[in-house]
Amino acid sequence: MTTALITGSTAGIGAAFARRLAGDGHNLVLVARDTKRLREQATELHDRHGIEAEVLTADLSTDGGIEAVEKRLARRRDPVDLLVNNAGFGNKGRYLEVPVADELTMLKVHCEAVLRLTSAATETMRERGRGGVVNVASVAAFLPRGTYGASKAWVVQFTQGAAKDLAGSGVRLMALCPGFVRTEFHERAGMGTDNIPKWMWLDPDKVVAAALADLARGRTLSIPDPRYKALMGVAKLAPRPLLSGVTSRTGRKYGPQ
C-alpha cells in the first residue's frame, strides 16, 4: 500500500485529493492547522475506505510547523510516495492595501514551505527510485497579480525546474494550475464572488481527477480544464499592459485565485 501526504487536506482541493486518493486505496497523512477537523476527516476516510489516515497538525506559516512535516517526509520507515503541497490562502486587497506581514506569511506558506517539503520528500523518493509531488499553483501564475500571482509563478518555475533536474530518477513533479474552484478559499479571504460568471467555476473533484491523470501521463504542468487552457493561451498573446489592467481590477476582490 502506498502513502500520500496532503497539506491543507481538510477543505476544498486538498479534501478532494484526500477523498480520491483514499478511494484509490492509498494511506494518508493529513496536514492542516485545525486538529478537530483533521481527526474527523481521518475517521471518516478510514471508515469509508478502510485506509489508515494519520493526522499531523501543522501551521505551515511557522518554522515549527514546516519542520514537523519535513520530519514526517524524511522518515525512511513508512515512507511517503506522493506529496501534495496544496495548503494556501488569499489576501484581499491590492498592493499596499495588504499589510507586508500578511504578504510575507503568504510567501512562507506558498514558497518556503513548498520548497522545504518538496526537498524533504524528493530526497527519500530519489533513494527509492520512485515517488511523486503535486504542487498546487494557479492560473494566476501566468498573470500579473501581486504577491499571490508571483508566489504561484514561483511554484510553477520551481516545480518544472526540479522535475527536469530529477528526470530519470523515478520521481515525478507537477505544478497544478486551476482557475476558480468552488472551495472555502474566497470566503476565508473575505472576497466576494458574485461577479464571477458561473461557467468559470470548477468542481474540486474534477480538478483532482484531471490532475492525477496528467501526473500519470508524466506532465510537469497541469491546467485542468479546456476553458482555462484556452484562456491562458489568449493571455500569453495579449499585450502585458492590457493584461495587467484587467487583472489588477479583477484580481483582488473577484479575480481567479
Ligand X SMILES: NC(=O)c1ccc[n+]([C@@H]2O[C@H](COP(=O)([O-])OP(=O)(O)OC[C@H]3O[C@@H](n4cnc5c(N)ncnc54)[C@H](OP(=O)(O)O)[C@@H]3O)[C@@H](O)[C@H]2O)c1
Residues belonging to the active site? 148
- Residue 120's closest CA among 190, 70, 186? 70
Specify whether the CB–CB gap between 232 and 43 falls below 8 A: no
- Residue 2's closest CA among 34, 25, 32? 25
Specify whether the CB–CB gap between 22 and 28 falls below 8 A: yes
Contacts of 132 (CB under 8 A, 6+ apart): 81, 82, 83, 125, 171, 172, 173, 174, 215
Binds ligand X by CB under 6 A, chosen from 41, 86, 118, 159: 86
Q: How far is the CB of 74 from ligand X (least distance, A)?
A: 18
Q: What is the dihedral of CA 223, 136, 20, 32, to 10 degrees?
A: -160
105/169 with CB nearer ligand X: 105
Instruction: Looking at residues 99 to 138 of the shown chain, list those that interact with ligand X (rule: CB under 6 A).
Output: 109, 136, 138
Kindly state whether residue 158 participates in binding ligand X, applying the rule CB under 6 A.
Answer: no
Q: How far apart are CA 147 and CA 144, in angstroms?
A: 9
128/150 with CB nearer ligand X: 150
9/27 with CB nearer ligand X: 9
Binds ligand X by CB under 6 A, chosen from 142, 154, 180, 228: 180
Q: How far is the CB of 37 from ligand X (least distance, A)?
A: 6
Kindly state whether residue 87 participates in binding ligand X, applying the rule CB under 6 A.
Answer: yes
Given the rule CB under 6 A, which of 6-14, 17-25, 116-124, 244-252 is the region that contacts ligand X? 6-14
